Amino acid sequence: MESTGVIQSANLTRDLGQTMPVLVAEDNPVFQSMLRNMLTKWGYAAHVTPNGLEAWEAMQAADAPRLAVLDWMMPYMDGVEVCRRIRTAAREPYVYVLLLTARTESQDLVEGMEAGADDYLTKPFNAQELRVRLRAGRRILDLQQQLMEAREALRVQATHDALTGLLNRGRVLEILAAEIARSERELQPLAVLMVDLDRFKLINDTLGHMAGDAVLREAARRMQAATRQYDAPGRYGGEEFLIVLPGCGAREGYAQAERIREAYAGEAFTTGGESLAVTCSIGVSSRDACAAGDAERLIREADAALYAAKNQGRNRVVAFVAEEPSAESLALTKLARFSEA
């Protein structure tokens, strides 16, 4: 298929930052080859379709061209309809649409622009005019790209910790709340780990704050490497980390905590050429598939377990065990067994 070949080579060259792909929909063979020649000469990668329907289908590809030159009158689907569909789908990134029209009545132009076209040219058009209008479209697309990148950078900034790159406290708490809701809905367990570096103040005091920062970064890196993709490790405070483990009960939570503890204790950290033994203590709390347990309780219990781990000598994992299951959780357990039977 010739058209696929064109789109592939267009993507390749875009990756190299050389050409910009342009989707052309034009049913007239003379205009087709004219547009193809001009666009190629100006450094665009033209993907030419003979009607609106094929143009619309080409626009569905994940990396479809963002610049479209659409003839108005075409079989199967006209350019205005393609334009309308592009705008209704409202997908990002934005598609810049230049409408080609043989019509000159102003009412028609109003219709085309209202369908969401960004600009139009009346056929027959002057080649240089098309060229500069495409350039204007390209500028708009470049600006939009910059905007999207800035917005993404802001989103990352708002949800991540600048020092370690882990999720920040606000975001990890949001995830905890969402995962509790999901655990209730899907009758899945959920575990929470509270990780605290041992005697961290000593590292700061003896090696300096910069070395302390380097240790925090390395601790975060190892933590990330030791957790599954759907776990959510976040920096909770100074040298404290909160990890949300969806689908894990007390046993799996404990095992996961042991892996992290081992990832620290098992291999010395190096900062500024110095080798340094860094350990952590971890408190584990969990909620049963059917037991009650809000975020506050889970954090409180993980904290209590962490406190116990510190008291027992550090570099260890302690899981919170409730003295007695609450009446509510017992009732819910029975209910779940009943519904399983």
* Residue numbers annotated as active site: 239
Binding mask 63-102 for Mg ion (x = CB under 5 A): --------x-xx----------------------------
Q: Give me the helix-helix angle, 127-159 and 29-41, nearest 10°.
A: 60
Shortest distance (Å) from residue 202 CB to ligand GH3: 6
Tracing tokens 């952590």 back to the chain, one arrives at 280
Residue closer to ligand GH3 by CB (options 182, 209) is 209
* Shortest separation between residue 313's beta carbon and ligand GH3, angstroms: 10
Name the amino acid, one letter, at 288.
Answer: D
The reply on whether position 117 binds ligand GH3 by CB under 6 A is no
**Contact between 311 and ligand GH3 (CB under 6 A)?**
no
If the CB atoms of residues 17 and 313 are measured against ligand GH3, the closer one turns out to be 313
Q: Of these partners, Mg ion, ligand GH3, none, which one is at the site of residue 27 (CB under 5 to 8 Å by kind)?
A: Mg ion
Nearest 10 degrees: Cα torsion 200, 201, 204, 207:
-80
Evaluate the omega torsion of the peptide bond into residue 325 and state whether it is cis, within 30 degrees of 0: no
Determine whether 4 is exposed, middle or buried from the number of CB atoms within 10 Å of its CB (0-12, 13-18, 19+): exposed
Q: Could you tell which of Mg ion, ligand GH3, none binds residue 75, using a CB distance below 5 to 8 A set by kind?
A: none
Under DSSP, the state recorded for 206 is: H
What, of ligand GH3, Mg ion, none, does residue 71 touch, CB below 5 to 8 Å by kind? Mg ion
Q: Please give the structure tokens belonging to residue 222.
A: 């190892």
310 binds, among ligand GH3, Mg ion, none (CB under 5 to 8 A by kind): ligand GH3
Applying CB under 6 A, the span of 34-42, 125-133, 210-218, 243-251 interacting with ligand GH3 comes to: 210-218
Residue 295: which residues within 8 A CB-CB, separation 6 or more?
173, 176, 177, 180
Nearer to ligand GH3, 52 or 212 (CB): 212
Task: State yes or no: residue 201 binds ligand GH3 (CB under 6 A).
Answer: yes
**Side-chain half-sphere CA neighbours of 319 within 13 A:** 15
- Interacting residues with Mg ion between 254 and 273 (CB under 5 A): none
Number of residues located near ligand GH3, criterion CB under 6 A: 17
Instruction: List the interface residues with Mg ion, window 39-68 (CB under 5 A).
Output: none
Q: Which of 75, 83, 79, 141 is nearest to 117 (CA)?
A: 83
Choosing from 71, 198, 231, 301, the residue that interacts with ligand GH3 (CB under 6 A) is 198
Is there a cis peptide before residue 124, judged by omega within 30 degrees of 0? yes
Q: Residue 196, interface with Mg ion (CB under 5 A)?
A: yes
Widest Cα–Cα separation across the chain: 85
221 binds, among ligand GH3, Mg ion, none (CB under 5 to 8 A by kind): none
CB count, 10 Å around CB of 26? 25
Helix, strand, coil shares of the chain, percent, nearest 5, are 50, 20, 30
CA 125 to chain centre: 43
160 touches ligand GH3 (CB under 6 A)? no
Nearest distance, CB of residue 256 and Mg ion, angstroms: 20
Single-letter amino acid code for the residue at 92: E
Binding site for Mg ion (CB under 5 A): 27, 71, 73-74, 196-197, 200, 239-240
Question: Which residues in this chain contact ligand GH3 in the complex, by CB under 6 A?
Answer: 163, 196-202, 204, 209, 212-213, 216, 238-239, 310, 314
